[in-house]
Amino acid sequence: MSLIDNIIRPDVRALSAYHVQDAAGCTKLDAMENPYQLPEALRAELGRRLADVAMNRYPTPSYTALKAAICDKLGVPDGYDVVLGNGSDELISMLSVACARPGARVLAPVPTFVMYAMSAQFAGLEFVGVDLKPDFSLDRDAMLAAIAEHKPVITYLAYPNNPTGSLFDEAAIVDILRAVGDSGLVVVDEAYQPFAPTSFMPRLAEFDNLVVMRTVSKLGLAGIRLGYLSASAALLNEIEKVRPPYNINVLTQAAAEFVLAHSEVLDEQAALLRAERSRVRDLLAAMPGVEVFPSAANFVLLRINRPGLDATQVHARLLEQKVLVKNVGKMHALLHNCLRVTVSTPEENKLFLDALQTALAP
């Protein structure tokens, strides 16, 4: 046996590394990023702030000022605190580690964000997926049956869901919270909350087992990698124990504190993207051979329904025109022939729509 065979877990050896396609020279619409930068004056001031950061020193591990800014500007209820992560990915990993009791299971509707299952596997937890309905709505009865059978320690609900963009029924989520009860956590992942009409953050006091997780990535700060979650003080205390020390670097901390002081700019950008989402969806719906689904996120999911043409071919034709979108057709059977497209500026959206028209041509 080789060194790798001797030391690396078989299930890890069987995996492929997370792949990010090279976007050089492309209109990049595959990663749900905010296309807008900060205004020039704010960028200049941010540069001055970052120049003064003491990069030779560790961060202050309590992150008191940053957490206070998040709670104040991003709708965390009075009396609640947050735990910070290097993006939502690290928060998901922390939850997996904290809950990794022998034989424990993690449950989520599928298709959904792939890191729920991957993080569970890395922590030695079994992942149970429950299929969404064909229209990508939550199958409440199937979820409740799975909860009764598997007693998951964590149930993830992406709200809105990635990659479908669907906003699950609020009453069904409440039923799931009550069914799980004190046997597990229900993590409502609100990564796309700036583009959705509702949130579970204001309902934290109603459910002791509710964890609301968010990120600043979709707000326009994907490059600084900052996620946060809120829950009861007792839960946060336990999750904090598995948070790596100094996990938020000083540049991220300084950038986030500065931008949150100007959060109205982020709100304005989110409003522009919500308006563009509606416009793009209407134009896609008018295209023959394209089925577009409702979205409460900053992306749209569409299905190619043209005879003799599939999503893989369309994806390749778009790439030939230097437009990069995400081919999600192989993620799950429900996503057959589906592409996921980030909503961007009017100019970039036009480039995509024109390229799609060309890609759909016989």
| pLDDT (mean) for 319-323 | 97
Indicate whether 21 pLDDT > 80: no
Is the Cβ–Cβ distance between 299 and 343 less than 8 Å? Answer: yes
Q: Please tell me the predicted confidence (pLDDT) of residue 18.
A: 67
Mean pLDDT of the chain: 96
Q: Determine phi and psi for 137, rounding to 5 degrees.
A: -85, 165
The overall longest dimension of the chain from CA atoms, in Å, is: 60
Indicate whether 12 pLDDT > 90: no
Q: Please tell me the predicted confidence (pLDDT) of residue 72.
A: 97
- Rounded to whole angstroms, the Cα distance separating 119 from 95 reads 9
| pLDDT (mean) for 104-110 | 98
Judged on CB neighbours under 10 Å (0-12, 13-18, 19+), 137 is: middle
Q: Which residues, other chains included, contact 321 with Cβ-Cβ below 8 Å and sequence gap of 6+?
A: 355, 358, 359
161-200 burial, b if ≥16 CB within 10 A, otherwise e? bbbbbbbbeeebbbbbbebbeeebbbbbbbbbbbbbeeeb
Residue range 255-285, pLDDT digits in tens? 999 999 999 999 999 999 999 999 999 999 9
Query: Quick one: pLDDT band at residue 165, thresholds 50, 70, 90?
Result: very high
Q: Which domains, and CATH codes, for the chain?
A: 3-39+264-360 (3.90.1150.10), 56-261 (3.40.640.10)
Look at residue 170 and give its three-state secondary structure: helix
Q: Please tell me the predicted confidence (pLDDT) of residue 142.
A: 98
Cα separations in angstroms, 322 against 23, 41, 280, 301, 352: 9, 31, 19, 19, 9
Q: How far is CA 282 from the centre of its chain?
A: 24
Is the Cβ–Cβ distance between 108 and 156 less than 8 Å? Answer: yes
Indicate whether 45 pLDDT > 90: yes
Q: Which residues, other chains included, contact 58 with Cβ-Cβ below 8 Å and sequence gap of 6+?
A: 246, 250
CB atoms within 10 A of CB 324: 22
| pLDDT (mean) for 135-162 | 98
Per-residue DSSP letter, 222: G
- Rounded to whole angstroms, the Cα distance separating 346 from 42 reads 23
Is the Cβ–Cβ distance between 120 and 74 less than 8 Å? Answer: no
Which of left, alpha, beta for 37 (phi over 0: left; psi -120 to 50: alpha)? beta
Closest C-alpha to 109, from 15, 214, 204, 189: 189
| pLDDT (mean) for 342-358 | 98
- Rounded to whole angstroms, the Cα distance separating 333 from 110 reads 10
Q: Of the segments 12-21, 22-31, 302-311, which one has the largest average pLDDT value? A: 302-311
Residue range 198-257, pLDDT digits in tens? 999 999 999 999 999 999 999 899 999 999 999 999 999 999 999 999 999 999 999 999
